[in-house]
Amino acid sequence: MGLLDRNTVKFEIFVLYLPFRNPECRNLIPKMLLTKSAEYGISIVLHLAKIGESGYVRIQDISDECGVSAIRLSKVAQILTREGLLESYTGPNGGIRLTRPANDICLLDVVKAIEGERAFTRCVLGWENCGDENPCAVHEHWRKAREVIMNMFEDKTLRELIDLDKIQEV
């Protein structure tokens, strides 16, 4: 799978919108197990939500803002488009945009679009055979934490995250 390998990449997820270029903020963010693709997907949709419904945005513009390769963002944008969260338009004024208003898209929508249904069900330690029948040492703890995280991701819309970001900038 290469670039979009879902099982091996561990990273920080930004629960609140923070630009990737701000390393001082990264230590304040809780760590989770998601792919870089999910991180990039969240970055894309938050960037689009932040600018509102002003038309299509070029991937290169998002890349410049986030400091992430346009090639990587394009691959993630293709997934989000295929899953119905984005629409794309080719041509001189082309780019991507959200298919729904920011208050109708939650973080869970984005993560599930990228990661699929296994987003929060795979073993936190990466064990392939971990499950209720064959639990790892942290299985029960992760199950409880996973429920809390999933509820939080389902409760937070893109609009809420953008509004929180505006409050923090003041």
Element (H, E) at 49: helix 36-51
- 80 found inside a domain: yes
| pTM of the predicted structure, to 2 decimals | 0.75
- 149 found inside a domain: no
Q: Which amino acid is at 56?
A: Y
Residue 5 has pLDDT above 80, yes or no: no
Give tens-digit pLDDT for 35-76. Answer: 889 989 999 999 999 888 778 999 999 999 888 999 999 999
Give tens-digit pLDDT for 132-157. Answer: 889 988 888 888 888 888 898 899 99
- 13 found inside a domain: yes
- 138 found inside a domain: no
Using only C-alpha atoms, the chain has a radius of gyration, in whole angstroms, of 16
- 130 found inside a domain: no
Q: What is the CATH number of the domain that holds 8?
A: 1.10.10.10
- 128 found inside a domain: no
Which range of residues forms the domain containing residue 34?
2-117+158-169
Other Cβ atoms closer than 10 A to 14: 20
- Token code pair at residue 28: 């304040």
For the chain, how many structural domains are there in total? 1
From the list 147, 144, 139, the residue with the least C-alpha distance to 122 is 139
Q: Which amino acid is at 118?
A: R
Residue 123: predicted pLDDT: 82
- Token code pair at residue 169: 């900038």
From the list 51, 50, 49, 58, the residue with the least C-alpha distance to 85 is 49
